[in-house]
Amino acid sequence: MTLALNYPFLDGVLMSLFCILVVFAILFLITLAVRPLILTERVKSVVVPALQPIKPFGPEDVTDDDMMAAILAAAIDYRQETQKDIRIVSAKEIKP
């Protein structure tokens, strides 16, 4: 405790301000180092073309009776398994 009494208050304030300035100077240097990286990332970004809207699945997409039977069987099986209301979103024909 005697060390604290012999250490002047003004010296402590000046030391604290110096340390704060050093920290802000380091943060400023880090900001200057990162800024070119951010600018090069913006330049490299690629414009993605807009996706075409997906046509909703409808009854006109069913091509034959076998496809309709397969869709209905899959829907009934899924409904019995989950006990939730379902909606058929899409169907795909797998050819051997």
pTM listed for this prediction: 0.39
d(CA 92, CA 96): 13
* Residue range 50-92, pLDDT digits in tens: 777 777 777 777 778 888 888 889 889 989 998 888 888 777 7
61, with CB counted inside 10 A (0-12, 13-18, 19+), is middle
**CA distance linking residue 59 with residue 23, whole number of Å:** 68
pLDDT of 44 higher than 80? no
